[in-house]
């Protein structure tokens, strides 16, 4: 356990040093130019994850449509995004930088006792929502959501659910599901893993009876028949996802893994408005529409005070769920 913690700290330190070096280089070459000339997108996670994919999709679309010239993605993994958050807050008035954020970070801020929060950033835009799906192995006795919830209600300790990091969307959704079927969320046998691949392995090896993760994390296994999808966490049905929602099946649970961008706290109003304009242009491109379609993301665009108010309400909601989970 100590070795794992030391390794995690070392990775975070290396990532932070790399980020500061990249930021310094970008600042030196970008000067006081517009963010359209040179833009850094910070993905506060390791390459290959959802935040990284979100940043790189935006990078490609911005380049292809001439929204920004030199767009680079910098990965700063660690602590559910809060390592990257801390680094971005320290950037102060950096005008040529935005960071990917989303629902996962809210739980990370609380569980990691982060010294900084999204209140310390400038909200730019919410762009899309991703949704979780509850899956079980193909040979599981649970053929329907009702089968699974009955087992969860009868024996929450013996009905293990695998998912991502503690306090993340997967974990919070597991708690909401338990609560909806009359189980104390603190009784949920939740097994946390660092990534979707490990979650799949846990389910297929029967370490866990079910799993929760983003639909894209499970899509190949669902399509191949290795996993059965029982429910998706969207409030309403999602085009391209042939899985019924929890709500359609009588379980009043919904949660989105929303994703968007924030900027350093010291930027000017002019820079903020320019970044909002750039992301708005991104959202209106055919490339971004294709991105949404390919990833089964749902457009949830909002900017300005509406986005700031959304972050505030989601922060309150996440805090309440975390408290109920006893974390």
Please state the rounded mean pLDDT for residues 204-215. Answer: 94
Distance CA 14, CA 180 (A): 42
CB proximity list for 67: less than 8 A, separation 6 or greater:
36, 61, 278, 281, 282, 285
CA distances from residue 150 to 52, 83, 178, 224 in whole angstroms, order as listed: 37, 39, 10, 27
The predicted structure's pLDDT at residue 26: 45
- The more confident residue out of 8 and 242 is 242
Q: What is the pLDDT of residue 1?
A: 36
Over residues 171-182, the pLDDT tens digits come to: 999 999 999 999
pLDDT at 166: 79
Q: Look at residue 61 in the predicted model and tell me its pLDDT.
A: 97
Identify whether the C-beta of residue 124 lies closer than 8 Å to the C-beta of residue 98: yes
Q: Is the pLDDT assigned to residue 32 strictly greater than 80?
A: no
Q: How far is CA 9 from CA 1, 13, 14, in A?
A: 12, 6, 9
Closest C-alpha among 304, 284, 292, 280 to residue 129: 292
- pLDDT of 165: 79
Question: Cα(50)–Cα(56) distance, rounded to whole angstroms?
Answer: 10
Q: pLDDT higher for 118 or 49? A: 118
Q: What is the mean pLDDT of residues 285-294?
A: 97
> What is residue 14's predicted lDDT score, i.e. its pLDDT?
47
pLDDT exceeds cutoff 70 at 11: no
Q: What is the pLDDT of residue 120?
A: 97
- CB distance 197 to 180 below 8 Å: no
Say how many C-beta atoms besides its own lie within 10 A of residue 105's C-beta. 31
**pLDDT number for residue 20:** 52
Q: In the chain, which residues fall in CATH 3.40.190.150?
A: 2-129+258-325
Q: At what angle do helices 286-295 and 50-64 cross, to 10 degrees?
A: 160
The whole-number average pLDDT for the span 125-145 is 97
**Residue 46 pLDDT grade (very low, low, confident, very high; cuts 50, 70, 90):** confident
Mean pLDDT of the chain: 89
Beta-carbon-side half-sphere exposure of residue 132 (alpha carbons within 13 Å): 30
| pLDDT per position as a tens digit, 69-84 | 899 999 998 888 999 9
Residues of the chain with CATH 3.40.190.10: 131-249
The CATH homologous superfamily for domain 2-129+258-325 is: Bordetella uptake gene, domain 1 (3.40.190.150)
In this predicted structure, which of 8-12, 148-152, 242-246, 303-307 has the lowest mean pLDDT?
A: 8-12
SS3 322: helix
Considering only CA atoms, give the Rg of the chain: 20
Strand partners, 190: 161
Choice among 31-45, 169-183, 209-223, 308-322 with the minimum mean pLDDT: 31-45
Pairing between β-strand 210-214 and β-strand 97-102 as defined by DSSP bridges: unpaired
Q: What is the mean pLDDT of residues 189-193?
A: 92
For residue 325, pLDDT over 90 is answered with: no
Instruction: State the pLDDT at residue 19.
Output: 56
* Average pLDDT value for residue range 93-111: 93
Per-residue confidence (pLDDT) for residue 23, from 0 to 100? 52
- Give 151-165 pLDDT, tens digit per residue: 999 999 999 999 987
CB contact burial 262-284 (16+ within 10 A = b; e otherwise): bbbbebeeebbebbbebbebbbe
For domain 131-249, give the CATH number: 3.40.190.10
């Amino acid at each position: 356990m100590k070795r794992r913690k030391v390794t995690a700290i070392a990775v975070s330190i290396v990532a932070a040093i790399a980020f500061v070096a990249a930021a310094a280089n970008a600042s030196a070459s970008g000067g006081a130019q517009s963010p359209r000339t040179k833009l850094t997108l910070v993905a506060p996670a390791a390459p290959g994850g959802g935040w990284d994919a979100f940043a790189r999709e935006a990078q490609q679309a911005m380049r292809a449509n001439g929204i920004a010239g030199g767009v680079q993605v910098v990965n700063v993994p660690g602590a559910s995004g809060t390592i990257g958050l801390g680094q971005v807050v320290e950037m102060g008035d950096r005008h040529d930088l935005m960071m990917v954020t989303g629902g996962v970070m809210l739980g990370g801020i609380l569980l990691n006792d982060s010294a900084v929060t999204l209140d310390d950033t400038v909200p730019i835009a919410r762009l899309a929502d991703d949704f979780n799906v509850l899956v079980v192995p193909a040979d599981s006795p649970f053929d329907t959501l009702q089968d699974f919830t009955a087992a969860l209600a009868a024996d929450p300790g013996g009905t293990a659910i695998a998912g991502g990091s503690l306090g993340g969307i997967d974990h919070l959704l597991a708690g909401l599901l338990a609560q909806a079927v009359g189980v104390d969320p603190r009784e949920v046998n939740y097994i946390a893993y660092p990534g979707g691949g490990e979650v799949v392995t846990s389910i297929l090896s029967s370490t866990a009876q079910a799993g929760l993760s983003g639909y894209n994390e499970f899509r190949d296994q669902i399509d191949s028949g290795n996993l059965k999808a029982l429910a998706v966490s969207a409030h309403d049905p999602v085009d391209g996802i042939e899985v019924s929602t929890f709500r359609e099946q009588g379980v009043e649970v919904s949660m989105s893994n929303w994703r968007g961008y924030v900027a350093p706290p010291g930027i000017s109003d002019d820079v903020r408005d320019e970044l909002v304009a750039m992301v708005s242009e991104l959202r209106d491109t055919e490339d971004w529409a294709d991105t949404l379609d390919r990833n089964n993301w749902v457009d949830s665009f909002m900017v300005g005070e509406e986005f700031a108010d959304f972050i505030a309400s989601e922060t309150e909601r996440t805090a309440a769920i975390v408290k109920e989970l006893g974390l």
